[in-house]
Amino acid sequence: MNFVIIFFGWIFSLCLHEFSHALVAYYGGDTTVKEKGYLTFNPLKYTHPFLSIILPLLILMMGGIGLPGGAVYIETWRIRNRYWLTAMSLAGPAANGVVAIVLAILLRVLPISTANIWPGLSFLLVLQVWAILFNLIPIPPLDGYGVISPFLNPAIQMQMDRIRGYAIWILILALWYIPAVGGFFWLIVSLSSLIWGVNMNVALQGRDFLLGFFKGLF
């Protein structure tokens, strides 16, 4: 049951993240997102189903970390102004925040008789915190860069765009293979999760359930 909660809960949060980007873009001026089918919860409608769904799930299976999905394709030139562009970028992490709030409430109000599913709910909440913090790192193509990009000097934007294709991979490899980097980020995630009321020992049990399930398959 904990595996089902984490696995399908994470898929739902990925879809909600992408949907939120598209919804704000729609009201911000890019009505083509509706024609492209982005205003749905169907993962197959997204521009990059591999980056948006498959890759995050693979990384989740391998190490139990939440890698946010790739963004839907927005025709940014249609967006009314830079404030809407910033709001569009913030919408994804905000969606993860909404899921985190719901999970935090559930963990507080569910009766003790449901304690067997608390590990799954707790780890799913930790994944939402991870997604929020990771996505708000201000490097392209993450949402954190999208938030500040409309207000940057064009020369700086050009420099940042040059590293867009590989900056994310450098960051992922650093988190994965450099203990100091990965350890520091995980510490920030853990401390932030505590603020949300997560019992990290219980959450780690949820991660062990998830990884144990996949190890049993392979």
- Residues taking part in catalysis: 18
Residue 84: CA atoms inside 13 Å, Cβ hemisphere, count? 17
Tokens of 84: 């809407």
Tokens of 2: 């904990």
The whole-angstrom separation of Cα 196 and Cα 97 is 11
The whole-angstrom separation of Cα 130 and Cα 132 is 6
The whole-angstrom separation of Cα 84 and Cα 199 is 37
